[in-house]
Amino acid sequence: MITSSVLEVESLTLTAASGEVLVDKVGFSLAAGESLGLVGESGSGKSLTLRAILGLLPRGVEQTGGTIRSKAVSAMVFQDPRGSLDPLCPVVKQVTEVVYYRQKTSLRAARSIALELLMRLGLPDSLATKDRYPSQLSGGQCQRVVIALALACKPGILLCDEPTTALDVTVQRQIIDTITNLQQELGFAMVFVTHNLAIAANLCARLAVMKQGRIVEYGATPALLQHPAEAYTQMLIDSVLPLPELEGGGI
């Protein structure tokens, strides 16, 4: 085990009000600046694990066992970028608000920090002069705003909950590049939840495969991909469609 971990989750158990166990004894640790991919089908408890780390479990779900030890501020990037933003509030204002409450600056300073963040994430600088609402931005742009919201918390751990699933394939690529670059620059640790093994494998040094609320396999990415111990992991690997060979011009 790495001693300088920023996040340690130990036998975390989450239970629904009905008594159904949704996450069962999940444990992993995360070193500063490291990325962990949490992979699995929908309903396997990945997102709930993230919400538990954040301390924002949905109504009716409770932590019934285990511990979460975190040494850094965590922030989250959500799956549905447009839904994650207040539709009636200009996006700059939303980022400003988070800077204001998290970094305890003056409102004016918060606004300039927010704008700087947004520019850095590749949003048009017209935002500075004109109020733009989420409905006036594209999905990809909205996701950049959501990332800015998370970064405004100055996180040591970034939790990403399927941040690319709702986006077009081309935009997915851009968002992932943005996240990778930011991580190299700012050095935050990351838990990346996705059902897409290919994306996780590209981004993360270690992977945890989840199924029905349990981690069924956990290890360094290359080893896990080459020698999966579980049939389920093998199935996930097989389900990543290779591009057809483009010999002879292809069809």
Interface residue with other proteins among 1, 18, 42, 56 (CB under 8 A) is 56
Residues 152-171 that bind other proteins (CB under 8 A): 152-153
Distance of CA 82 to the CA centre of its chain: 16
Helix (H) / strand (E) containing 29? strand 21-31
Closest CA to 76 of 227, 236, 188: 188
Judge contact between 72 and 5, C-beta under 8 A: no
* Residue span binding other proteins (CB under 8 A) among the ranges 38-46, 127-135, 198-206, 211-219: 127-135
Nearest 10 degrees: CA dihedral of 193, 195, 198, 199? -40
Site membership for other proteins, residue 137 (CB under 8 A): yes
Q: Least distance in Å: CB of 170 to other proteins?
A: 11
Beta-bridge mates of residue 15 = 21, 62
Q: Least distance in Å: CB of 113 to other proteins?
A: 14
Burial of 185 (C-beta count, 10 Å sphere; 0-12/13-18/19+): exposed
Crossing angle (nearest 10°) for helices 91-103 and 139-151: 10
Interface residue with other proteins among 4, 67, 135, 202 (CB under 8 A) is 135
Identity of the residue, 101 or 222, whose beta carbon is nearer to other proteins in the bound complex: 101
Q: Least distance in Å: CB of 161 to other proteins?
A: 10
Nearest 10 degrees: CA dihedral of 55, 56, 57, 62? 40
206 to 9, 30, 210: CA distances (angstroms): 15, 10, 13
Q: What mask, x for binding other proteins by CB under 8 A, covers residues 11 to 50?
A: ----------------------------------------
* Residue span binding other proteins (CB under 8 A) among the ranges 18-26, 129-137, 213-221, 242-250: 129-137
Interface residue with other proteins among 44, 46, 49, 78 (CB under 8 A) is 78
**Cα gap 13→34, rounded to integer Å:** 24
Site membership for other proteins, residue 140 (CB under 8 A): yes
Residues 82-121 that bind other proteins (CB under 8 A): 82-89, 94, 97-98, 101-102
Identity of the residue, 86 or 230, whose beta carbon is nearer to other proteins in the bound complex: 86
> How, if at all, do strands 206-211 and 214-220 pair?
antiparallel
Site membership for other proteins, residue 146 (CB under 8 A): yes
Binding site for other proteins (CB under 8 A): 54, 56, 59, 75-76, 78, 80, 82-89, 94, 97-98, 101-102, 124, 126-127, 130, 132-133, 135-141, 146, 149-150, 152-153
